[in-house]
Amino acid sequence: MPEAALTFIFEDSRSARCSARPGETALAAARRAGIALDADCMEGACGTCKAQACSGAFDLGDPLEDALNNSERASGLTLLCQTVPQGDCVFELPYDSTRAMKRGPTPVRPATLVAIAEVARDVVRIEVLAEGPHVDYLPGQYANVQVADGRIVRSYSMATRSVQGAPWVFYIRLLAGGAMSDWLRGATPGARVSIEGPFGHFYLRDPQHPIVMVAGGTGLAPMLAMLDHLAATQGQAQNDAQDQTQTAPQPPANALSGRRGQQVLLLVGAGSEDELFGATELKRLQSHGVALEWRHAVVHPGPTWQEASGHVTTLLREDDLDRSSDYYLCGPPAMIEAARDWLSAHAVPSARIHAERFIASGVGAR
Ligand code: FES
């Protein structure tokens, strides 16, 4: 069995990563990597190493009821000193990274702007290549981008999956009078920037259910990263399945839809049609194994607009409702609240809703 990639996300949104060897516990792997997670007995008896398991398969022996009771276990809590990953896993810790990260805060890495292009009205796509060793991130997370010698810092979600050696891709909305926006309007490839990250609790969970994504404006960016990840993993799964058909009987015809990939409904909103972007990317992802359907809504439709009018939440329909789906929301606060209200009114469990809100300026801007 290959090593498993472990991600630990702390309350302050910072994260740490390491690899677990076959048979190694998550806590031991973290300690070997210099990540000092809370622990005491190391025997599954005290409960000090309790963490929320968010993604991935693992073995959890038979911890004492006092350390982890049945309802905690049912809610996804685990004891990291007893958790032996069986694949890549994500855990959330109920404390800040400063308690665990002996190496201090996430380093700021020098980087170069290698591409910049306007992809829609007031939206640019940039590619930033960071120096130093590869830093992995989860699809959906964000980073702080620093320009002008660190005097301007903004947070943006990565728009592709993490690939060693590849630039980090961001979609950024240009604002009138915004410091970062003004800098970007004059930026050309070769400009020096810095990257700090990754950060954030908004990331793709184990895709075991249909997925509904609701994106407002550049809130599409983290969805693209998630879809990119799904396309990559689905493509691998399809290759494996094709290899197996060399020796195994052919599946019945109706199994084809199951092999077609993860079902995703993507709802995208914008102020007007010329602010929409990403269609080429979505078609590429769709052709790479994700059973993706997307719909648009614009607040100010032009005379030739043929899709929905209004805010993106008007695209939420009872016909599409599946309470077992995972819902991912990213956009301005009002959009998040409206989508949450709709989902809650339709009895979608809050555990199935993952949201990232962004504001229009300062750190946290998109
Ligand atoms: Fe005591 Fe894990 S350290 S239960």
CATH number of the domain enclosing 38: 3.10.20.30
Is 14 part of any domain? yes
Q: Are residue 152 and residue 229 in the same domain, yes or no?
A: no
Taking phi first (over 0 means left), then psi (-120 to 50 degrees means alpha), and beta for anything else, what does residue 104 get?
Answer: left
Q: What is the SS3 assignment for 275?
A: helix
Q: Are residue 13 and residue 138 in the same domain, yes or no?
A: no
Is 182 part of any domain? yes
Q: Are residue 92 and residue 115 in the same domain, yes or no?
A: no
Which among 102, 120, 150 is the end of a domain?
102
Which residue has the CA at smallest separation from atom 4 of ligand 1?
Answer: 44
Is 142 part of any domain? yes
**Using CA atoms, how far apart are residues 264 and 356, in angstroms rounded to an integer?**
18
CATH classification at residue 194? 2.40.30.10
Q: Are residue 236 and residue 318 in the same domain, yes or no?
A: yes
Total tally of structural domains belonging to the chain: 3
Task: Report whether pLDDT(83) > 70.
Answer: yes
Q: Are residue 164 and residue 140 in the same domain, yes or no?
A: yes
Ligand 1 center to 3 CA (angstroms)? 23
Q: Are residue 97 and residue 112 in the same domain, yes or no?
A: no
**Using CA atoms, how far apart are residues 223 and 305, in angstroms rounded to an integer?**
24
Domain that residue 32 falls in: 4-102
pTM of the predicted protein model: 0.79
Query: Which of 61-75, 159-173, 255-269 has the lowest average pLDDT?
Result: 255-269
**Using CA atoms, how far apart are residues 129 and 111, in angstroms rounded to an integer?**
5
What's the pLDDT score for residue 258?
33
CATH classification at residue 278? 3.40.50.80
Q: Are residue 125 and residue 194 in the same domain, yes or no?
A: yes
Q: DSSP class of residue 102?
A: T
Q: Are residue 90 and residue 176 in the same domain, yes or no?
A: no
Is 232 part of any domain? yes
Which among 45, 75, 102 is the end of a domain?
102
Is 36 part of any domain? yes
Arithmetic mean of pLDDT over the chain:
87
Task: Report whether pLDDT(260) > 80.
Answer: no
Greater confidence, 248 or 167? 167
Q: Number of H helices and number of E strands within the chain?
A: 7, 19
**Ligand 1, pocket residues at CB < 6 Å:** 39-42, 44-49, 67, 79, 81
Q: Are residue 237 and residue 353 in the same domain, yes or no?
A: yes
Arithmetic mean of pLDDT, 340-355: 93
Ligand 1 center to 20 CA (angstroms)? 18
Task: Report whether pLDDT(113) > 80.
Answer: yes
Token pair 């077992």 is at which residue? 324
Residue 59 near residue 83 (C-beta atoms within 8 A): yes
Edge-to-edge strand order for the sheet containing 77-79?
15-20, 4-9, 89-92, 50-55, 77-79
Arithmetic mean of pLDDT, 207-228: 95
Is 363 part of any domain? no
Is 366 part of any domain? no
CB-based contacts of 177, cutoff 8 Å, min separation 6: none
Ligand 1 center to 11 CA (angstroms)? 20
